[in-house]
Amino acid sequence: MSVKRIAVKQMWVKQMRLFAIVGLLIFNGLSQAAIEFHQFKSPQMEAEYNQLIGELRCLVCQNQNLASSNADLAKDLRRQTHELLMEGNTPDQVADYMVARYGDFVLYRPPLQKNTLLLWLGPFFLLLLVVVVVFMKMRKKQVLVAPEQDAMAKAKQLLSQSNEKEQVEKL
């Protein structure tokens, strides 16, 4: 193979690589499910819509939000969210509308109420527990260290005494 042909081949490989990257980038965009186009009354409403579909859970797929789910129900609920906002509802009202039908399960950010107390406060309780345990362990160690310090002092005293003796002996 001539040098020229190898060079052409290398260029061809480079080009294919570029195509592959560009292709992947394009199709990456398609994996986002929300490809419907909605008209909004204001950019603020659009932001509210995007936040809502990001925080509402799809009930069919359960581990996806409405924004990323391709399920039929998620499509319908996105449409419903859009309509409710266009009718002048606030994001909280839209969330209440969903909760009234599907329960607290639709919220990825559960409200602070009696049955979610453990969920909200549990981590802080665990943190407190860890702090208390660590604190107690450290105190225990200090108690152990304390007599050692005494012993160190004694040892120092003894050493200096023996040093003195040695010096006296040398003399």
Partner 1 sequence: MRFILPLGIFILMAGLLGFGLTLDPKKIPSPLIDKPAPEFSLSKLYALEEKLSKKDLLGQVWVLNVWASWCVSCRAEHAIITELASRNLVDIVGLDYKDQPTDARRWLQQFGNPYSASLMDIDGRVGIDWGVYGVPETFVIGKDGRIKYKHIGPVTKESLEREVIPAIKELLG
CB of 58 to partner 1, least distance (A): 9
Asked if 49 contacts 81 with a C-beta cutoff of 8 angstroms, the reply is yes
Stretch that binds partner 1, among 6-14, 44-52, 96-104, 120-128 (CB under 8 A): 96-104
CB of 41 to partner 1, least distance (A): 22
Find, among 38, 42, 41, 47, the residue nearest to 80 by Cα: 38
Dist. CA 118–CA 20, nearest whole Å: 49
118 contacts partner 1 (rule: CB under 8 A): no
Find, among 111, 91, 85, 102, the residue nearest to 51 by Cα: 91
139 contacts partner 1 (rule: CB under 8 A): no
Nearer of residues 19 and 105 to partner 1, judged by Cβ:
105
How far is C-alpha 121 from the geometric centre of its chain's CA atoms?
Answer: 18
Select the residue interacting with partner 1 from 70, 99, 107, 116 (CB under 8 A): 99
How far is CA 155 from each of CA 55, 163, 166, rounded to the nearest angstrom? 66, 12, 16
102 contacts partner 1 (rule: CB under 8 A): yes
107 contacts partner 1 (rule: CB under 8 A): no
Select the residue interacting with partner 1 from 36, 72, 92, 150 (CB under 8 A): 72
CB of 132 to partner 1, least distance (A): 15
77 contacts partner 1 (rule: CB under 8 A): yes
Name the site residues for partner 1 (rule: CB under 8 A).
59-60, 62, 72-73, 76-77, 80, 99-105
